[in-house]
Copies of this chain bind each other. A is one copy, B any other.
Amino acid sequence: MPEANHKPTINDVARVAGVSKKTVSRVINRSPLLKPETRTKVEDVIASLGYRPNMQARALAMGRNFLLGLLHDNPNAQTVLNFQFGVLDAIRDTEFALVVRPVDRRSPRMLDDIRSFLEVQRLYGVLILPPISENDDLANLCREMGCGYVRMGSAQLDDDEHLVQSNDRECVENVIDHLVEQGHRRIAIIQGPEGFRSAQERWEGFSAAMHRHGLDVPADAIARGNYRFDSGIAAAEKLLEGSFRPTAIFASNDEMAAGAFHMARSRGIDVPSELSIVGFDDSPIAAHIWPPMTTVGWPIREMAKAAALKLIDPSEAEAKQSIFPARLVRRSSVAPPQRD
């Protein structure tokens, strides 16, 4: 007799369908060696009983949880959030859930902490966000622990590693082209922090484009920040006080660009008539600041979704490495330079 309101288990399904547990298990796991009519019969019983497999039991038996992990150590919090939404989008309507785990890049115990985390949680796979995605030890750890992983926005790696990135470098070149078209020739850059690949890529794009246009990039035209607002203020101050007298500044992310806005404003310099500024990321601040900021947008949510699907959907996993297009978002922080 069927009990009152007891959650049906695989045994109940098997009993009602007149097959064994294992056969039901095969149906659930889409085993190909089942007679179609058996499959249908079992599926009907599953539906009529409202059976749902117990994830904890599966996790125990398979030694692996139905959880995706998000490993991040990101100075730009907004990016993390967008990334989350992309992953959540990918796993909507699946049995997967998303576990978020911050990583302390500077801690000497970082690897041990993550090892212990992976040991305990037995994740199905992890998505590693920049900049920590550039850490090869971390990637090796994941592999060693038998945990799938996708590295985001990092450099070209072994062919068998999953990677999702965007064409930052090329897009920064487009930014410079745009500024040059507007008539700018003294263009300065606020670089991202040393050792960050994204910062390196953006610098290379800048440098290549400037060179292509035959424009100088003296030391006075270069300042370095750490991707945070305050560092953008300081970097802009250095650039504006130097002898280079830029008519345009490219900042390697929007936060620092906003810092440059701040500095310009506090020195009474009008943006864009006296100084053009371009950022990178198309984060909310870019649209909310005054004047609305021209920046580079990259499809972070789509990238996150693709990364998650690489982990959970074998058919998506075939292309190990994907590149998504970034594009220039034109707003109002760029104008032709004033004549000297």
Contact = CB atoms under 8 A, between A and B. Distances in A.
A36 interface: no
Interface stretch (A171-179, A237-245, A287-295, A320-328): A287-295
Contact of A88 (B84, B100, B119): B100
Interface stretch (A21-29, A41-49, A52-60, A218-226): A52-60
A203 interface: no
A122 interface: yes
Taken together, the copies of this chain in the complex come to: 2
A95 B102 CA distance: 15
Contact of A229 (B119, B258, B288): B288
B54 A60 contact: yes
A105 interface: no
Nearest to A271: B290
Interface residues of A, number: 44
Interface stretch (A74-82, A157-165, A180-188, A302-310): A74-82
Interface string A93-132: 0010111111000000000000011011110000000000
A116 B229 CA distance: 42
A67 interface: yes
Interface in A279-301: 284-285, 287-290
A56 B67 contact: no
A289 B289 contact: yes
A112 B80 CA distance: 28
Given A99-B97, A99-B98, A261-B290, A121 B285 contact: no
Given A97-B121, A98-B100, A121-B97, A56 B52 contact: no
A262 interface: yes
A247 B130 CA distance: 45
A60 B86 CA distance: 30
Contact of A67 (B54, B99, B255, B288): B99
Contacts of A255: 288
Contacts of A261: 290
Interface in A1-53: 7, 52
B102 A88 contact: yes
A100 to B, nearest CB: 5
Given A67-B99, A284-B285, A285-B284, A56 B88 contact: no
Contact of A55 (B54, B122, B258): B122
A196 interface: no
Given A98-B99, A99-B99, 14 more contacts: A52-B120, A55-B120, A55-B121, A56-B56, A56-B59, A84-B100, A95-B120, A97-B120, A229-B284, A259-B288, A261-B290, A262-B288, A265-B290, A290-B290
24 contacts: A52-B116, A52-B119, A52-B120, A56-B65, A59-B59, A59-B60, A60-B60, A67-B97, A67-B99, A77-B81, A78-B81, A84-B100, A88-B100, A97-B99, A97-B120, A98-B99, A98-B101, A99-B99, A99-B100, A229-B284, A262-B290, A284-B285, A289-B289, A290-B290
Interface of A: 7, 52, 54-57, 59-60, 63, 65, 67, 77-78, 80-81, 84-85, 88, 95, 97-102, 116-117, 119-122, 229, 255, 258-259, 261-262, 265, 284-285, 287-290
